[in-house]
Amino acid sequence: MTSTLGPAATRRRSALVVLCSVQFMLVLDDTVVSVALPSIRNELGFGASGLAWVVNAYFLAFGGLLLLAGRVADLLGRRRVFLAGVALFGLASLVSGIAQEPWQLVAGRFAQGAGAAMASPASLSLITLLFPGPEERARALGIWGGIAGLGGTMGLVISGVLTDLTSWRWIFLINLPVVAAAVVLLPGLVPESRAARRTRPDAGGAVLGTAAVLSLVYGLLQVGESGWGDMSVIVALVLAAVLIAAFLVVESRVAEPLVPMAFLTFRTRAVANLATLLFSAAAYAMAFLLMIHLQTVLGYDPLVAGFAYLPYGAGILTGMWLSTRLVARIGMRWALVSSFLVCGAGFLLLSGIAPGGHYAAAVLPGMLLTSLGNGMCLPVLATAAVAGTTGEDAGLGSALFTSMQQAGGSVGVAVLVTLAAWRGGGTPGYSFALTVAAALLALGAVLIAALLGNDRSTS
């Protein structure tokens, strides 16, 4: 076991630990402010509409800049863009942690999102290239995807603990050691990589694509604040549709498009990204609705509600362990179908939580089943979404996958929260929305079974 490959394998494993730690941190900041919002409002004097932008600024920058950042990473160097994004994220975390005025915290959150948009796709593309073999890539992406899913859940727990025991400022300041370790360690672990073909950046496509995503994400975020009939929502969504149409026209005419059509039509990636959109829409909405339901219907305080999610992490880790074994035994297609159905069954159990329900009987079974399906699903989706990518386009593939997660989450929360309100809110609305979320996963399972090949390799 002491072959010349030992040091190289050790460096790759160390690099994977660093890259997964950073991804955990980035996804953590999707949700880490949720429990702390009342404390932030009281200390900094936020108004009701301004407080929403502590959350929205991060999602807007993260979701809006992903595609552009992913392609820039391919052209300028993935390690360089990753390190720049991590450094920006760290500086923005410091600004957020010491903010004295509302605008300072919102600006810090926007800069955090921009840093995350640079670092996240670069991280996934670096892993894709570091582990070229099908089996080792599947294992590495399985760990990366599972850790990312775990980060989204643990944000609620960490936020509750830090806000209750110390100060809300520490939910941002705890990022700094991770940032420092990544900036110091990664250059010695990962070589620089970039596309061999040095093409001129598609400036028109970059501007239109980024503006389209920003407008779409902004419109969907505003739905939660103002409803579908608000003029700002209508204008933003119509503008997004116009910009998307213009983007497609420009991309079809330029010699070196930002997102080549051939890249989008690669079957495995196309199905994986569509499945990711549906899965993220259901999963993000479930997490949002369940947290609200635990507090408003079951009467949990924020800290207890955060701790109630702890078993979710155990389910994700178990699902990650099962994931690669399922792919090896039954192939990527049926592994994904199984995970979607398991997760959907968990949603249906969670939809039955009624007032007065006990945690062990009413919440825990559905939470464990949902988290198991989540852990089974995310690694395989990540592997399929970057299937066939090379040193020319790994950053673009990674960015597209992460974009589908962010867009799906925004759409899912906006639509399913609206459906819950339409059914009267409370327990009936919650139950109906989670049933629709389960139906989305069933639809995803059908599409995967019909469209995805059953190649057991994950290359």
Q: Which residues contact 122 (CB under 8 A, 6 or more apart)?
A: 69, 70, 73, 78, 79, 81, 82, 85, 395, 398
CB 328, CB 456: distance < 8 Å: yes
pLDDT classification of 276: cutoffs 50, 70, 90: very high
Whole-angstrom Cα distance, residue 123 to residue 26?
11
**Beta carbons within 8 Å of 134's beta carbon, 6+ residues apart:** 457, 458, 459
pLDDT at position 104 is 94
pLDDT tens-digit series, residues 384-436: 888 877 767 777 788 888 888 887 887 887 788 888 888 887 889 999 999 99
Q: Is 296 in contact with 454 (CB distance < 8 Å)?
A: no
For 218-254, write each residue's pLDDT tens digit.
887 777 667 788 898 899 999 999 999 998 888 888 7
DSSP letter at 360 equals I
Scored b (16 or more CB within 10 A) or e, 172-191 reads: bbbbeebbeebbeebeebbe
Distance CA 406, CA 120 (A): 12
Structure tokens at 167: 């100060």
Cα–Cα distance between 201 and 114 in angstroms, integer? 19
Among residues 193, 177, 233, the alpha carbon closest in space to that of 74 is found at: 193
Q: Tell me the whole-structure pTM to 2 decimals.
A: 0.81
pLDDT at 458 over 60: no
In three-state secondary structure terms, 122 is: helix
Q: What is the mean pLDDT of residues 431-457?
A: 87
pLDDT in tens, 349-368: 999 998 888 999 999 999 99
The answer, yes or no, to whether residue 34 has pLDDT greater than 60, is yes
